[in-house]
């Protein structure tokens, strides 16, 4: 069972509203998002920090935290950012943004399970038993937030062999059900680096808004 934490990942940074929703079927990998929840007051967009940039894809716009470096285009990614490494860490964190198109990319549950399955635990338990997951609303859009840690399989592709194993790694992820389909924000890196940059990731997620007015 995935642990549902009562303290929200982004609660210290902005007000959010929990959304109760039925689990999606992981086997239906191309089904549209679950029915939209009843309308609620959306969390206000956070102001962009001084010196920050913005980025956009699939009808969404967000603020890139200062100090994050945009990387060259990579296959299957809408954007990639490197975050500064924490003191003592030899490599930076990586924030990868994925968008596969309307009704594409699989269900929220399927992607959350895939992310969790990329981590091994020292005691052999499934990562889903110790990971965290919650659903909030940001500017009228459902956002699924997850956290996991352990030994990370960084090999590219879901069918890749478990050959690039990185101990003491952490994941913070956000799946935004936007106007043109799901957009996936996946932050991975050494444990201390991800913890140190968690507030910036939360600010980025809190800044997400529609880049076009509905109906235009």
Global pTM? 0.76
3-class secondary structure for the chain?
Answer: CCECCCCCCCCCCCCCCCCCCCCCCCCCCCCCCCCCCCCCCCCCCCCCCCCCEEEEECCEEEEECCCCEECCCCCCCCEEEEECCCCCCCCCEEEEEEECCCCCCCCHHHHHHHHHHCEECCCCCCHHHCCEEEEEEECCEEEEEEEEEEEEECCCCCCCCCCCEEEEEEEEEEEEEECCEEEEEEEEEEHHHHHHHHHHHHHHHHCCEECCCCCC
Tens-digit pLDDT profile for residues 141-170: 999 999 999 999 987 555 666 678 999 999
pLDDT at 49: 44
For 164, the token pair is 């690039």
Q: Please check the confidence at residue 42 and state whether its pLDDT lies above 60.
A: no
Q: Measured between alpha carbons, how far is 73 from 189 in angstroms, rounded to an integer?
A: 19
Q: Would the pLDDT of 11 be above 50?
A: no
pLDDT of residue 186: 98
Contact 61, 45 (CB under 8 A): no
pLDDT at 154: 82
Does position 30 have pLDDT exceeding 90, yes or no?
A: no
The pLDDT score that the predictor gives to residue 157 is: 58
| Centroid of chain to Cα 26 | 18
Q: Identify the weakest region by mean pLDDT among 19-28, 52-61, 188-197.
A: 19-28
Strand partners, 53: 64
Domains of the chain, CATH where assigned: 59-210 (3.40.1000.10)
> How far is the C-alpha of 57 from the C-alpha of 211, rounded, in Å?
9
The percent of residues above 90 in pLDDT, for the chain, comes to 66
pLDDT of residue 77: 95
Asked if the model's pLDDT at residue 56 lies above 90, the reply is yes
CA distance 111 to 93: 20
pLDDT tens-place string over residues 63-82: 999 999 999 999 889 999 99
CB atoms near residue 81 (< 10 Å): 23
Contact between 179 and 214 (Cβ < 8 Å): yes
Tokens found for residue 63: 């603020």
Residue 70 is encoded by which pair of tokens? Answer: 């945009």
Instruction: Pick 212 or 149 by higher pLDDT.
Output: 149
Token digits for 157?
């592709």
Over residues 172-181, the pLDDT tens digits come to 999 999 999 9
Q: Is the confidence at residue 15, as pLDDT, over 60?
A: no
pLDDT at 58 over 70: yes
Rounded-to-integer distance, Cα 58 and Cα 78, Å: 9
CB atoms near residue 189 (< 10 Å): 26
Average pLDDT of the chain, as a whole number: 80
Tell whether the model's pLDDT for residue 28 goes beyond 50. Answer: no
Judge whether residue 93 has pLDDT over 90: yes
In angstroms, the CA 102 to CA 183 distance is 10
């Amino acid at each position: 069972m995935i642990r549902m934490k009562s303290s929200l990942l982004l609660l210290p940074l902005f007000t959010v509203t929990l959304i109760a929703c039925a689990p999606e079927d992981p086997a239906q990998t191309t089904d549209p998002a679950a029915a939209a929840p009843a309308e609620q007051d959306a969390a206000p967009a956070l102001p962009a920090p001084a010196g920050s940039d913005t980025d956009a894809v699939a009808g969404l716009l967000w603020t890139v935290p200062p100090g994050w470096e945009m990387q060259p285009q990579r296959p299957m990614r809408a954007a990639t950012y490197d975050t500064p490494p924490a003191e003592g860490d030899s490599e930076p964190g990586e924030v990868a943004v994925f968008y596969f198109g309307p009704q594409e990319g699989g269900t929220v549950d399927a992607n959350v399970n895939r992310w969790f399955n990329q981590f091994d635990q020292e005691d052999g338990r499934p990562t889903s038993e110790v990971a965290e997951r919650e659903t909030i609303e940001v500017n009228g859009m459902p956002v699924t937030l997850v956290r996991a840690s352990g030994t990370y399989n960084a090999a590219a592709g879901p069918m890749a062999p478990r050959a690039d194993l990185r101990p003491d790694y952490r994941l913070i992820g956000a799946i935004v059900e936007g106007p043109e389909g799901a957009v996936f924000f996946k932050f991975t890196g050494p444990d201390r680096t991800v913890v140190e940059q968690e507030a910036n990731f939360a600010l980025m997620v809190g800044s997400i808004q529609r880049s076009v007015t509905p109906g235009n």
